[in-house]
Amino acid sequence: MKLRHLLAGLLVSLPAVSGTAFAELPSHADVTKALKEVVAEKNGGFDLQMWATIVDRDGVVKVLTFSGESRGDQWPGSRVISAQKANTANAFSLPALALSTANLFSAVQPGGSLYGLQHSNPVDTAVAYGGPTDSIGTTKDPMLGKKIGGVNVFGGGLPLYDASGTLVGAIGVSGDSSCADHNIAWKLRDKLGLDFVPGGVSSTKDDNIEYDISDGASKGGWGHPVCAEAATSVAKKLPKTNPISKVEKK
């Protein structure tokens, strides 16, 4: 059975959680520091400030932070989008198959193998918008400890795999172009040491963004629209500038 047909079965269900104990996810301070460092680099976008969210394998929000000096330095709407992206990358990745949110764009278009996926698993609006505003982006963000839900199908969400190759959750970033978001997420995952990706659907056999759409169709079925040549250039170099880590064989 083709991979696309297998993935189609994921339309309305979240993946089962492995019995393997979860690895310790990075702290708010660790993610914030790494995010600020990555945002300071050239990522092919508008050089805007970013939100970042980490969820565990159960889809529970564990970290939510931003790179600016205050919550108003980033697009306010990108907070929830970053969480959606993290939820999506976690929900539709498996121990042996990594899918980025960027990989899903073409597949969910009308006629695509996963059309309708974007309408499944809706955001819990009470989780998204509840709680005190002053706590947003801090260690007391009201989204922490809860399941946000949501499906997002453009760049910025990546699954997280620890040094043993265990899928431990996902990260989502938002605040710039979707293409720059992907580049930032990739670099951030690298800095956090959670990039032991087992394989994926991209041309480099990982979960990198694919720019193969021509005349409205993706050659491989997993393509993403081009935002800017600068972002495309950064993405194509990622396997070399920020290569995927390999699990050491015992």
pLDDT of residue 147: 98
What is the C-alpha separation between 150 and 119, in angstroms, rounded? 8
Each domain of the chain, given as residue ranges in start order, spans: 24-241
Mean pLDDT of the chain: 92
pLDDT of residue 4: 47
Q: Is the pLDDT of residue 21 over 60?
A: no
Model confidence, pTM: 0.91
Tokens of 124: 């819990």
What is the C-alpha separation between 72 and 212, in angstroms, rounded? 35
Q: Is the pLDDT of residue 6 over 50?
A: no
Is the distance from CB of 87 to CB of 80 less than 8 angstroms? no
What are the pLDDT digits (tens) for 114-149? 999 999 999 999 999 999 999 999 999 999 999 999
Q: Is the pLDDT of residue 179 over 70?
A: yes
Q: Which amino acid is at 23?
A: A
Q: What is the mean pLDDT of residues 207-219?
A: 96
Q: What is the mean pLDDT of residues 167-175?
A: 98
Indicate the CATH number of 24-241 among 3.30.450.150, 3.40.50.300, 3.40.50.2000, 3.40.50.720. 3.30.450.150
Residue 129: φ, ψ to 5°: -120, 5
Q: What is the mean pLDDT of residues 109-114?
A: 93
Scan for tokens 């989204």, then name that residue: 143
DSSP 86: H
pLDDT of residue 11: 39
Task: Please write down the HEC assignment for all residues of 198-225.
Answer: CCECCCCCCCCCCCCEECCEECCCCCCC
What is the C-alpha separation between 132 and 142, in angstroms, rounded? 7
What are the pLDDT digits (tens) for 42-87? 999 999 999 999 999 999 999 999 999 999 999 999 999 999 999 9
Q: What is the mean pLDDT of residues 205-226?
A: 97
Three-state DSSP at 98 gives: strand
Q: Which of 87, 224, 218 is nearest to 143 (CA)?
A: 87
What is the C-alpha separation between 202 and 224, in angstroms, rounded? 11
pLDDT of residue 16: 35
Q: Is the pLDDT of residue 12 over 60?
A: no
Q: Give the sign of the dihedral formed by CA 83, CA 85, CA 86, CA 87.
A: positive
Neighbours of 226 (CB within 10 A): 13
pLDDT of residue 185: 98
pLDDT bin (cut points 50, 70, 90) of residue 23 is low
Three-state DSSP at 106 gives: helix
